[in-house]
């Protein structure tokens, strides 16, 4: 018997059972992890950056359908050993779910769909549709972590290009001033949405137009570089158009419109140039004949693998449901301590308006210290999840679109505290309009995460500590401790904050520990 089935009827029975078993496994994965898929779909619908992902599933189906004639020449062969990677990926989903990390859970459920194919249909079939299966990962909305880096790079290029054009420019952080006005690089200027969309479409273009691997890889690299360079040029041109027109064009909403038009033209040119080196699609390979004694898989083998896979992937889902439903909800009682040598500044309105969605409790207090005010803000988290977690990009003392303050610098430091080094995040804020008006409103910030009696500034480590504690049955309590003070002199604010942390952080930690013990 041969793996090459010349007559359609020869492969009708194994393919009928294989496709039915694969469909059952897909349905099981979609139902067991429906909340993760629903979260993914929700991001597609509300985010301009990932709106294109809604096209990925139909594109994948079309790519597979294109290979249907070649697929018919293969006999599907279930691979039991693929159950192991499926079990590992499902366990990874459980860890991601406990940590409340969308990127991890969504990558894992997508990987489960991909791994289901070789598990039920075999490696030969999978190799033939390897690209469509890999393309499925484009439906995972991931890439927001690039925002800070790309915003900084856009600001670097724009300021340098404006200066080379002979226009005087002064920059602080993501804000810069030229004679005609002040500009700032916001999230929409980062170019992340252009980068992700270009890479997805460019990868598809490379697969459909080239047959050699090196040409495909080169074009994919070009599809990554071109949108970055195009976004830098877009930002520079918008600033120069605004400057030369007296801020009558390329400002407000219309500069975003100009950006999309410019991006569309650039991508079109990239495809037109790339099409000059198009290659005919390579002919599909013909599978080798089976060795003597090999037979087509029995239906029971195919269904057995599919049912075992469904059982394996259901276990983490059930465990997550159990761990994610505490026996009873508890409130957190959180207060900040009194200090005899640092009296409370009553009636003071905090300078910053922090955002910590989903925090179980928050407390803010200002103290009179060393001739100035130090404000302490604590956000306490318990029963963490996707909308309420210690390590999240949504947690911020000052958001990028804040109308009063802009972050212009960030870093880290450490202080010796009772025989241990406590790491601290540092940040500097200036008032919006300060660059243009010469007003030097300035706020210095220190921040640290507290998880189960440990201090850290690493979001990943904080998340891991919370997951380990939760699996051990100790809960996932954690807190973000933020301290800030205002003064024009950096040395004054640094000394004031460091002194406050060294002398008073242990008392704040004691309050956090007391809150953790009460459930």
How far is Cα 185 from Cα 151, in angstroms, rounded to an integer? 6
CB 185 within 8 A of CB 150: no
Q: Are residues 177 and 204 in the same domain?
A: yes
Overall average pLDDT of the 105-112 stretch: 95
353 in any annotated domain: no
Q: Say which range, 53-62, 412-421, 422-431, has the weakest mean pLDDT.
A: 412-421
pLDDT tens, position by position, 376-401: 999 999 888 777 888 887 888 887 66
Overall average pLDDT of the 506-519 stretch: 86
Q: Are residues 463 and 319 in the same domain?
A: no
Q: How many domains does the chain have?
A: 3
pLDDT tens, position by position, 472-512: 777 888 999 999 998 888 888 999 999 999 889 999 999 99
Q: Is the pLDDT of residue 103 over 60?
A: yes
335 in any annotated domain: no
285 in any annotated domain: no
How far is Cα 458 from Cα 353, in angstroms, rounded to an integer? 23
- The pLDDT of residue 289: 44
Q: Are residues 169 and 62 in the same domain?
A: no
Which one is predicted more confidently, 421 or 86?
A: 86
Q: Are residues 381 and 508 in the same domain?
A: yes
386 in any annotated domain: yes
Supply the pTM of this predicted model.
0.78
As a whole number, the mean pLDDT across the chain is 83
Q: Are residues 401 and 497 in the same domain?
A: yes
Q: Which of 2-11, 153-162, 329-338, 387-396 has the highest mean pLDDT?
A: 153-162
288 in any annotated domain: no
Please report which confidence band the pLDDT of residue 470 belongs to, taking 50, 70 and 90 as the band edges: confident
Which one is predicted more confidently, 293 or 198?
A: 198
464 in any annotated domain: yes
Q: Are residues 199 and 310 in the same domain?
A: no
Which one is predicted more confidently, 263 or 83?
A: 83
- The pLDDT of residue 293: 39
Q: Is the pLDDT of residue 331 over 80?
A: no
User: What are the φ/ψ torsions at residue 182 (nearest 5 degrees)?
Assistant: -105, 145
91 in any annotated domain: yes
Structure tokens at 406: 């802009």
Please report which confidence band the pLDDT of residue 405 belongs to, taking 50, 70 and 90 as the band edges: confident
Q: Are residues 130 and 156 in the same domain?
A: no
Q: Name, in order, each residue with C-beta under 8 angstroms of 95's C-beta and a sequence gap of 6 or more.
A: 104, 467
Q: Are residues 367 and 506 in the same domain?
A: yes
Query: 211, 246, 277: which is the final residue of a domain?
Result: 277
Domain that holds residue 133: 8-141+296-323
Q: Is the pLDDT of residue 317 over 90?
A: no
- The pLDDT of residue 340: 87
User: Which residues pair with residue 369 across a beta bridge?
Assistant: 372
Q: Is the pLDDT of residue 285 over 80?
A: no
Q: Are residues 130 and 159 in the same domain?
A: no
Q: Are residues 150 and 273 in the same domain?
A: yes
495 in any annotated domain: yes
Q: HSE (CB half, 13 Å, CA atoms) of 107?
A: 12
- The pLDDT of residue 419: 76
Q: Are residues 198 and 303 in the same domain?
A: no
Q: Are residues 133 and 152 in the same domain?
A: no
């Amino acid at each position: 018997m041969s793996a090459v089935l010349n007559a359609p009827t020869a492969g009708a029975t194994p393919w009928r059972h294989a496709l039915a078993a694969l469909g059952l496994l897909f349905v099981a994965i979609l139902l067991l992890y429906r909340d993760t898929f629903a979260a993914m779909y929700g991001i597609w619908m509300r985010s301009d950056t990932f709106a294109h992902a809604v096209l990925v599933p139909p594109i994948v189906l079309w790519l597979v359908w294109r290979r249907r004639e070649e697929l018919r020449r293969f006999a599907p062969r279930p691979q039991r050993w693929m159950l192991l990677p499926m079990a590992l990926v499902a366990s990874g989903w459980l860890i991601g779910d406990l940590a409340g990390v969308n990127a991890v859970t969504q990558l894992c459920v997508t990987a489960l769909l991909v791994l289901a194919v070789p598990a039920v249909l075999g490696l030969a079939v999978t190799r033939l549709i390897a690209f469509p299966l890999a393309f499925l990962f484009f439906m995972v909305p991931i890439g927001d972590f690039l925002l800070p880096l790309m915003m900084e790079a856009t600001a670097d290029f724009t300021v340098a290009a404006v200066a080379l054009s002979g226009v005087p420019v002064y920059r602080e952080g993501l804000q810069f001033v030229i004679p005609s006005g002040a500009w700032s690089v916001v999230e929409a200027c980062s170019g992340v949405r252009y980068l992700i969309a270009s890479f997805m479409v460019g990868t598809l273009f490379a697969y459909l137009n080239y047959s050699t691997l090196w040409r495909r890889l080169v074009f994919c690299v070009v599809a990554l570089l071109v949108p970055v360079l195009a976004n830098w040029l877009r930002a520079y041109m918008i600033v120069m158009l605004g400057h030369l027109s007296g801020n009558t064009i390329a400002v407000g909403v219309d500069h975003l419109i100009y950006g999309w038009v410019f991006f569309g033209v650039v991508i079109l040119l990239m495809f037109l140039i790339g099409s000059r080196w198009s290659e005919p699609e390579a002919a599909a390979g013909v599978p080798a004949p089976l060795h003597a004694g090999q037979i087509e898989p029995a239906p029971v083998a195919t269904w057995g693998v599919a049912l075992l896979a469904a059982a394996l992937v259901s276990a983490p889902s059930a465990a997550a449901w159990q761990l994610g439903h505490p026996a009873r909800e508890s409130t957190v009682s959180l207060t900040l301590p009194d200090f005899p040598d640092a009296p409370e500044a009553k009636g003071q309105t905090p300078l910053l308006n922090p955002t910590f969605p989903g925090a179980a409790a928050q407390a803010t207090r200002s103290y009179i210290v060393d001739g100035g005010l130090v404000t302490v803000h604590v956000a306490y988290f318990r029963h963490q999840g996707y909308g309420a977690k210690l390590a999240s990009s949504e947690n911020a003392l000052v958001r990028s679109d804040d109308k009063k303050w802009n972050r212009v610098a960030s870093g880290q430091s450490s202080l010796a505290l009772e025989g241990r080094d406590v790491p601290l995040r540092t940040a500097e804020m200036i008032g919006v309009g300060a660059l243009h008006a010469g007003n030097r409103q300035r706020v210095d910030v220190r921040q640290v995460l507290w998880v189960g009696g440990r201090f850290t500034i690493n979001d990943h480590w904080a998340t891991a500590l919370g997951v380990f504690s939760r699996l051990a049955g100790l809960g996932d309590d954690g807190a973000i401790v933020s301290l800030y003070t205002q003064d024009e002199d950096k040395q004054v604010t640094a000394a004031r904050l460091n002194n406050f942390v060294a002398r008073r952080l242990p008392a704040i930690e004691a309050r956090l520990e007391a809150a953790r013990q009460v459930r």
